[in-house]
Structure 1
Amino acid sequence: MNLWLRNFILLILMLAASGLALALRPTQKIADQGPAIDLETIIPQTFGDWHVEQQNSVQIVDPRQKEMIDRIYTQTLSRTYMNSRGYRVMLSIAYGDDQRDSMQMHYPEVCYPAQGFLLEGKEAGNMATGSGSIPVTRILTSLGQRNEPVTYWTIVGDRVFQGGLQKKLAEMRYGMTGKIPDGMLIRVSSIDGQTANAYDIQTQFADQMLHALEPEYRRKLNGNARIN
């Protein structure tokens, strides 16, 4: 094969690869197809045994972390709820309508240490709720005398995932169909020296919150969790 023919074939292959990449580039946002997401509206301020505590300062927010989160996510919601026994749970939800590589989620095991917390433990598990079993990650953090167990789960499109590999595979599956997935991170935490007690109450809180949602939003927040 002479040099001219080889270069011509290489050029054709490069153009074909470029055209294929362009054709497969996702352009359709899932967020534009489902129910509109307005976190302030869809998450009730009162549900079950819980109500929003209007004046509360237990959440620590680093301005630099907030600036980063505002860049990554389309919407964020931060509230502190209290039950009839005076127990407080902090809820944080971050939603992004474009969950591709350029818009990566900001995970609690990263943002807590960035604010000075110690990360003392991390484990994957399943949270049993009346809306289904949800794969979650639990971390234990501390800052001085403040012990803050955290439960969180992450959603890409319509499924919960655990770990970066699962997230990447989900993004690829959507990309192959020309769709851009949205993403959500739901975090529940409490200041409690008894870690097991904190996780139990956080599960109760999440269960009651999901139960109070409209069905289409419940499916969104639980990632179409399987019913046991």
Structure 2
Amino acid sequence: MSRNRTKAWVLAACMLAVAGLAAVGKPNTQAAMDARSQMPLEAIFPSQFDDWRLDPASSVFVRPAVDQAKQFQMYDQVLERTYINGQGQRLMLSVAYGRQQSVGLQMHRPEVCYQAGGFKVQDVTPALIEAAGQVLPVTHLQANMDGRPEPITYWRLLGDGVVTDDSVFKFRQLSSGLRGQVLDGLLVRVSSIDQDTDGAHRLQARFVDQLARAMSPEMRVRAFGARTTPPQP
């Protein structure tokens, strides 16, 4: 009887603790999420930086992120751009933001979307690249269809933290839900049409680093997550 009573008290204490965390954390988180949801993706990702600028041939097709999002029921904003550098190298940037659509961001990973679109997807591997001195966990993959080889680098944020795999994603969803928080999500994809997969991934890594360095610290956290230890040489 005493043991059952002890368990009951422990359970009650845990429930009160969770309720307390929810009451304390929810207002600030809600305000932060509301502020982030109002920020256009165009204000976060510069259209020109270092040696990169919008490709004139494709800029006519670039619509505001909110308009782009209407094509995708899961997202609040979608930004799609093609950049070109002085050597004529082109990279495609696609960004999807969901205010409360983190499940959609999980389901619409590039390796899932490309395969659903008829691409053959292979070599899905985790990697670490550097973004303005910050270690950024990313996923590399190769998508192919009808002679179109497309090496891809992407990363996902849940709140202000980079999510590296589905188990971490689900755990963060659950733990934040217990605190009364619904985190927003951001998926950033960089890709190119290139037969040289390794070379394409190196160019994409350099592009990401230059992009991060062109951002203010506030925007950098918004696009790349909280700062971590730089990679060791």
TM range (shorter): 0.7 to 0.9
Q: Which residue of 2 aligns with 1:120?
A: 122
TM value normalised by structure 1? 0.79
Q: Which residue of 1 aligns with 2:91?
A: 89
Q: Which residue of 1 aligns with 2:75?
A: 73
Matches within 5 A, 1:1-228: 29=30, 30-32=32-34, 34=36, 36-56=38-58, 70-101=72-103, 104-228=106-230
Q: Which amino acid aligns with 2:77?
A: Q
> How far apart in 1 are the matches of 2:199 and 2:102?
36
Offset at 1:186?
0.4
Higher-Rg structure is: 1
> How far apart in 2 are the matches of 1:69 and 1:173?
31
> How far apart in 1 are the matches of 2:133 and 2:76?
26
Query: Which gives a bigger RCO, structure 1 or 2 (Cα 8 Å, sep 6+)?
Result: 1
Deviations 1:101-139 (A, max 9, x none): 477441100111122111121101111232401000001
Alpha-carbon contact 1:132-1:225 (below 8 Å) kept: yes
Q: Which amino acid aligns with 1:80?
A: T
Note closer, same or farther for the CA distance 1:102–1:75 as it changes in structure 2 (3 Å cut): closer
Note closer, same or farther for the CA distance 1:92–1:67 as it changes in structure 2 (3 Å cut): closer
Q: Which residue of 1 aligns with 2:64?
A: none
TM value normalised by structure 2? 0.77
| Structure 2: gaps spanning 5 or more residues | 1-11, 62-67
Q: Which residue of 1 aligns with 2:6?
A: none
Deviations 1:143-176 (A, max 9, x none): 1211110000000011001111100111122112
When the two chains are superposed, the root-mean-square deviation of aligned CA atoms in Å is 2.8
SS in 2 for 1:72: coil
> How far apart in 2 are the matches of 1:200 and 1:104?
25
> How far apart in 2 are the matches of 1:85 and 1:100?
37
Tell me the matched-pair count: 202
Alpha-carbon contact 1:89-1:188 (below 8 Å) kept: yes
Alpha-carbon contact 2:154-2:188 (below 8 Å) kept: yes
> How far apart in 2 are the matches of 1:198 and 1:72?
29
Offset at 1:220?
1.6
